[in-house]
Amino acid sequence: MERRTSQRRKVAALMQPKAPIVTRKRRRSSSPVHSTGETAGNEIAGDFFYWMPDDLVLTILSKLSSTASHPSDFINAILSCKRFRFLCVTKPVLSRASVRVLAVKAKNWSDSAHRFLWCCCMAGNLNACYMLGMIRFYCLGNRLTGISLLAKAAIGFHARALYSLAIIQFNGSGGSKRQKDLQAGVAFCARAASLGHLNALREFGHCLQDGYGVRQNILQGRRCLIHVYYNEITGEVRTDKEPHPVNVFMADWFAQRPGTLEKEDLRLCSNKGCGRPETRMYEFRRCSLCGTVNYCSRACQAMDWKISHKMRCTAGLVRLRFPAAFPAVAAIGGGGGDGGAVEQAAV
């Protein structure tokens, strides 16, 4: 009898609805120092990060954004926790983001990448202003906003932005041939050269030699070119180094969209490390010897001549085989040498 009674009690207990299980979050003490023993060790190991002040965490994240070697390193930090997600998008962190963190690939371009670069620009990051300005001006076709971002970077003495503005002024990019401003281009080149940009110094030296947008001064122009040649010979400037990420982005952007330029009969700069496209027909200058390549500037002409065009240019091959028969060609440096054997195409 007792056995049956106990069984009935068990069945009745099972048939009753179970009460909801209430879980309470463990309350942390005011400081991990007050805990003792094994509990203190576990709390310090798991919760010590949360007791770090925000200014110290911002310093660490700023160091990460300025030294990270790949964008994924910084993105993984953003996705770590809510605190990182909030602190990583603050002005002290975004303003110090390096070029490698901002190096977005053309195949990964999206609205979120565009928004991230824009947030860095609003934080005062000059590298982001330069890169987004180039992408908007040449790739997205937003000439006005692109030139404004480049100008913002140039105001902050960004050498690459100053040199890009000089190329835009020399070529009249984004407008007609009559909108070229040679004097402004020379001024931008001189400022970029004073900041140590050697391609700008090369361009400025050729302008002085030829009297292009500035009063002709052959002696001073040769001094500028000799300074560039000296840095190339000593190895401070390598012609085989990796191009800037924004130049790689532009080259990949138009390589993935082959019909974008062909519809308007436009061409890319023949220098593989440049990636700049024409904004109107016959904007760039062609090689005066073979006429098969075109360049946006003298710097791209000189770099491509030393890397590859010297051996591909028909006139250059003849000059190498018979240098005595072509003294004039040897003097100007072949099909794309430093002497400026590139002439403007007539529009």
Q: What is the mean pLDDT of residues 304-311?
A: 82
Q: Report residue 156's pLDDT band, with 50, 70 and 90 as the boundaries.
A: very high
Contact at 8 Å (CB) between 193 and 204?
yes
Output the pLDDT for position 292: 81
Q: What's the rounded Cα separation, in Å, for the pair 30 and 286?
A: 73
pLDDT at position 317 is 59
Residue 332: what pLDDT? Answer: 41
Give dist(CA 274, CA 276) in Å, integer. 6
Distance of CA 269 to the CA centre of its chain: 17
250-296, pLDDT tens digit by residue?
A: 999 999 988 888 778 889 998 888 999 999 988 998 887 777 889 99
Over the stretch 317-330, which tens digit does the pLDDT of each residue have? 566 566 665 554 43
Closest CA to 203 of 154, 235, 162, 156: 162
Q: Where are the alpha helices (DSSP H) in 240-313?
A: 245-255, 259-262, 298-304, 310-312
What digits encode the pLDDT tens for the residues 193-228? 999 898 999 999 999 998 998 999 999 999 999 998
Beta-carbon-side half-sphere exposure of residue 24 (alpha carbons within 13 Å): 3
Distance CA 129, CA 121 (A): 5
pLDDT digits (tens, 9 = 90+) for 88-143: 889 999 999 999 999 999 999 999 999 999 999 999 999 999 999 999 999 998 99
Whether the pLDDT of residue 166 is over 90: the answer is yes
Choose among 109, 133, 107, 110: nearest CA to 120: 133
Instruction: Work out the mean pLDDT of the chain and round it to a whole number.
Output: 79
d(CA 210, CA 190): 15
* pTM for this prediction: 0.77
